Amino acid sequence: MHGAATPRRARPESAAEAPPTSRDVGRAAGVSQATVSLVLGDKWRGRVSERTAELVREAARELGYRPNLAARNLRLGRTRTALLVVPALTNEFFARVYTGAARTAAEHDFGVVLYPSPDGTGPARDPFASARAALDGVIASSMAAGALGAIRGAALPLVMLDSDPADPGAAAHVNLDIADGMRQVTEHLLALGHRRFVHLASAVDSWTFEVRARAIGEALRGVPDVVLRTVPTALDVHSGRQAAQTALTGPGPRPTALVCDDDIIAAGACKAVRRLGLRVPEDVSVSGFDDLALATAVEPELTTVRLPAERVGERGMAALLAVLDGRTPEGGDLPVELVTRGSTARA
């Protein structure tokens, strides 16, 4: 587009001087004022080179230039604010999602408002008098989908996290390879000789948990002598303990592996095993999902599936920015990783 020269490393000599303008930045970088606006407004891709964009950014840093965001936002009809809707702040996973989203947002002069659904996974009111006036877009966990009724009506761009990719109401989806995570757990336990499984399944009506249930069923289908039972449970330690106790004391041969939808449920399952006078993993193997801090706080430490929560937030915010700019968001599921620890052993 425009030729670029090495930026002049100059800044106002005294506080009394007028602050630098975009014209000053353009002059220092050897480009037009329009190019400066494209680069600092993050609209440069496909219009100027990477080198030119970096020269503009460097000139702005050297001059101490700060764009008038309020004027620019008014002109563009933007608030540069995104809403992140999660089911609860008590879950470490969603705190890490927020960290990733906020970091990416800050790199683009955006802010992120965190909105936990007051009733966990139930419906919630629109937190603004007018979401359309207050926000540029929404990023939401599928576990908080019930909170989106009023917000969906605001016709804002919506990016769904860990949700059904067939949802027609979302402008973009950011998904983890949840099915592969459950397959990794199941194959690990099969290789250890386990054949009597209980799936301690989250009772939350959410796409991500439906995927886990399907994946464990498919992974065990056709394996000789395998028995799989499913016991639903709420997402808390107490409920996980009760569900595990029910599974371990029910009729028939005792299961040798408890596959849990979440590390919190798994912590409850470990308590149930000990209260029944059994041992983890000698008598019963227990696996979790998420790799929360809790996974290494219990003894023995949990075998679990590590989910890149911060990367989910980063990708979610990047997808929203792409939608707002008319670009196609990055596709593909984020990979997950089985972490084997002391809570699983040979049957």
% the chain with pLDDT above 90: 53
Give the span between the Cα atoms of 321 and 45, in whole angstroms. Answer: 13
8 Å CB contact between 4 and 29: yes
Buried b (16+ CB within 10 A) or exposed e, 128-151: beebeebbbbbbbbbbbbbbbeeb
Q: Is the pLDDT of residue 221 over 70?
A: yes
78-175+309-330 CATH choice from 3.40.50.2300, 3.40.50.300, 3.40.309.10, 3.40.50.1260: 3.40.50.2300
pLDDT of residue 209: 94
Q: Taking the domain 1-67, which CATH number applies? A: 1.10.260.40
The 10s digit of each residue's pLDDT in 137-157 is 889 887 765 555 556 555 788
The beta strands (E) that lie in the chain are given as: 81-86, 111-116, 137-141, 158-161, 172-174, 196-202, 227-233, 257-260, 285-287, 304-306, 337-339
8 Å CB contact between 295 and 281: no
Question: How many angstroms separate the Cα of 227 from the Cα of each of 50, 161, 195, 304?
Answer: 57, 33, 6, 21
Decide whether 1-67 matches 178-306 in CATH topology.
no
pLDDT of residue 316: 96
Q: Identify which of 79, 93, 278 has the alpha carbon closest to the alpha carbon of residue 176.
A: 93
Lowest mean pLDDT among 86-100, 148-162, 240-254: 148-162
pLDDT of residue 75: 42
DSSP states along 16-53: TSPPP-HHHHHHHHTS-HHHHHHHHTT--BTTB-HHHH
| CATH architecture label of 178-306 | 3-Layer(aba) Sandwich (3.40)
Q: Is the pLDDT of residue 289 over 70?
A: yes
Instruction: Tell me the three state secondary structure of residue 233.
Output: strand
pLDDT of residue 187: 97
Query: What residue spans define the domains of the chain?
Result: 1-67, 78-175+309-330, 178-306
Q: What are phi and psi of 203, to 5 degrees?
A: -80, 0
Q: Which residue has the higher pLDDT, 181 or 85?
A: 181
Tokens encoding 167: 């949802």
pTM: 0.74
pLDDT of residue 169: 79
Q: Identify which of 312, 302, 296 has the alpha carbon closest to the alpha carbon of residue 341.
A: 302
77 Cβ contact list (under 8 Å, min separation 6): none
The 10s digit of each residue's pLDDT in 9-53 is 444 444 445 678 888 888 998 998 888 888 877 777 788 898 898
Q: Is the pLDDT of residue 131 over 50?
A: no
